[in-house]
Amino acid sequence: MDTVSTSTLIIILIILVLISAYFSASETGMMTLNRYRLRYLASKGNPQARRVEKLLQRPDRLISLVLIGNNLVNILASALSTVIGIRLYGDIGVAIATGLLTFIILVFAEVLPKTVAALYPERVAFPSSLLLKPLQKLMAPLVWLLNGITRFIMRLFGLRSDVKSSDAVSKDELRTIVNASNPLISHRYQSMLLSVLDLEAISVDDIMVPRQDIVGININDDWKDILKQLTHSPHGRIVLYRDSLDDAIGMLRVREAYRLMMEKSEFNKETLLRAADKIYFIPEGTPLNVQLVKFQRNREKVGVIVDEYGDIQGLVSVEDILEEIVGDFTTSMSPTLEDEVIRQPDGSVSVDGSTSIRDLNKAMGWHLPTSAAKTLNGLLLEYLEDIPKAGTHIDFKNYSVDIVKVSNNMIKQVVIRPKGSQVSSGKEKV
């Protein structure tokens, strides 16, 4: 060492600091890579991504390699700085060299390279893998020895070393990923993806056409009345029943009925009954994701929802489920939320009593309870435990509600205002 000039030692010291910076940046870059993007690039044939993915298959070996290299150069740099300090300043040079090298290592070999690598992981990790891969093979025996010692020590403390982390994400984590992708995915596509994730939490009861709104034909009606209902039906499928909807006997495709009407010389009730399909029944409470698969598996498009007693509660179609994902279709005959919810100039909202609570919460950002009742009418009747009169005012949780119209034992129209704004007085208060 005495034969080596001080200037040469300084150059070597600078090179060691640069090597230390390389190992620090490589470690941070490798560990902060987006694993899903890396997997995507590798599947597209990117050679750099494939090389990095192979290195990360055994992160314990990669980290051991980086730490070995980093510690070796740092220890050697410390020894060289001590020699240089003694040559330049004598005994006090040891303290000077220690302080100066600590500052240089922290700034130029730790903080700076790791910050850059964290900000640009791909730009750092991909090129550095060119050197890390042959280094890993070269230092494999030393890495194997250190990992073996580490595993032995862990076993002494009762710790397992064979625990593998999974890259699989839960539904909530996937939701976070979709929300975080806002700059890259349009709001519409983002909303559709989130709606797909929500299918599990929504049941057929939430989107069904309620029993009272089901369009059906009583096969015991006069034949002229039946033909009139067929020719004026806005729906593609109609329930056939005898006197009561609970005695449903088939699901008629209107297009098929038109075809028979044109082809058959005798088109009567018997022909209509033979053309009807068997009704597909769905238990109430079935999650939408499950029902969508069942529709596909059974090759059905419409189903009738029944409760535990076999009574018909409503009707749901494939289109209804798809609307939960992509939004309302322009061909839908049912009223849209815009038709049922009207914002008033004073800040209140006029709402139809049959409006779905879940749709209302989504559109207005409200938090009305959805645990029991599905419609606003059902929620208010459950809360009041009575059928109110028009003009009744209710302070319901964080909302002020004025019941405007009541008909046929149902609340038809209400005006809602979130608490914090004034509601017109002079009305009966509950």
The tens digit of pLDDT for each residue in 276-311 reads 889 999 999 899 999 999 999 999 999 999 988 888
Query: b/e per residue, 284-294, with b = 16+ CB within 10 A?
Result: eebebbebbee
Q: What is the CATH number of the domain that holds 235?
A: 3.10.580.10
Judge if 42 and 96 occupy the same domain.
Answer: yes
* Statement to judge: residues 254 and 222 lie in one domain: yes
Task: List the domain range (segments joined by +) for residue 305.
Answer: 199-326
- pLDDT attached to residue 127: 93
Closest CA to 270 of 313, 312, 223: 223
Check whether residue 91 and residue 139 sit in a common domain.
yes
In angstroms, rounded to a whole number, what is the distance separating the alpha carbons of residues 24 and 57? 19
Categorize the per-residue pLDDT at 429 as very low, low, confident or very high, splitting at 50, 70 and 90: very low
- The verdict on residue 244 lying in a domain is yes
Are 328 and 336 a contacting pair, CB within 8 Å?
yes
pTM of the model: 0.59
pLDDT of residue 420: 62
CA distance linking residue 412 with residue 257, whole number of Å: 35
Task: Tell me the average pLDDT across 392-418.
Answer: 88
The answer on 347 and 223 residing in a single domain is: no
Tens of pLDDT, residue by residue over 149-195, are 888 888 888 877 665 656 667 777 777 778 777 777 777 788 888 88
Residue 246 forms part of a structural domain: yes
pLDDT at position 423 over 50: no
| Shared domain check, 346 and 256 | no
What average pLDDT score do residues 201-216 get? Answer: 86
Paired residues of 416 in beta bridges: 349, 401
Instruction: Write phi, then psi, for 242 (nearest 5 degrees).
Output: -110, 105
Q: What are phi and psi of 48, to 5 degrees?
A: -65, -40
Confidence of residue 368 (pLDDT cuts 50, 70, 90): confident
Higher pLDDT, 170 or 416: 416
CA distances from 334 to 63, 188, 320, 330 (A): 61, 22, 10, 10
How far, in Å, CA of 146 to CA of 396, rounded? 66
Same domain, 153 and 102: yes
Other CB atoms within a 10 A radius of the CB of residue 315 amount to 26
**Do residues 276 and 398 share a domain?**
no
Domain end among 105, 134, 157: 157
C-beta of residue 240 within 8 angstroms of C-beta of residue 254: no
Express each pLDDT in 11-70 by its tens digit: 999 999 999 999 999 999 999 998 888 888 998 889 999 999 898 888 888 888 999 999
Asked if residue 170 belongs to a domain, the reply is no
Do residues 86 and 139 both lie within one domain? yes
pLDDT score at 113: 94
pLDDT score of 333 more than 80: no
Q: Does residue 147 have a pLDDT over 90?
A: no
209 and 109 within one domain: no
90-118: per-residue pLDDT in tens? 889 889 999 999 999 999 999 999 999 99
Contact 184, 296 (CB under 8 A): no
* Separation CA 127–CA 65 (nearest Å): 17
Does any domain span residue 309? yes
The reply to whether 318 and 352 lie within a common domain is no
| 314/353 same-domain check | no
Query: Is 426 a residue whose pLDDT tops 50?
Result: no
User: CB of 304 within 8 A of CB of 283?
Assistant: no
pLDDT of res. 334: 54
Instruction: Quote the crossing angle between the two packed helices 47-56 and 121-138, to the nearest 10°.
Output: 60
Adjacent-strand bridge partners of 393: 402, 429
User: What is the structure's pLDDT at 367?
Assistant: 82
Question: What average pLDDT does range 218-230 have in this prediction?
Answer: 89
Query: Strands (DSSP E) along 142-224, which ranges?
Result: 209-210, 216-218
- Domain edge (last residue) among 277, 305, 326: 326
Percentage of residues in the chain having pLDDT higher than 90: 31
Residues 30 and 73 in one domain: yes
Q: Where is the domain boundary, 124, 142, 157?
A: 157
Q: Compute the mean pLDDT over every residue in the chain, rounded to the nearest whole number.
A: 85
Q: Are strands 244-253 and 237-242 parallel, antiparallel or unpaired?
A: antiparallel
Task: Give the angle subtended at the CA of 134 by the CAs of 133 and 138, to the nearest 5°.
Answer: 125
So what's the pLDDT on residue 191? 81
- Burial bucket for residue 158 (CB in 10 Å: 0-12, 13-18, 19+): exposed
84: tokens are 């240089």
**Distance, CA of 198 to CA of 191 (rounded, Å):** 10
Region 224-246: mean pLDDT is 87
Is 1 a domain residue? Answer: no
**pLDDT over 70 percentage in the chain:** 92
**430 in any annotated domain:** no
79 phi and psi angles, rounded to 5 deg: -65, -45
Name every residue whose Cβ is closer than 8 Å to that of residue 128 and which is 6 or more positions away in sequence: 22, 25, 26, 29, 30
What span, in angstroms and rounded, lies between the C-alpha atoms of 63 and 24?
Answer: 10
CA-based R_g, the chain, Å: 36
Note the pLDDT of residue 337. Answer: 60
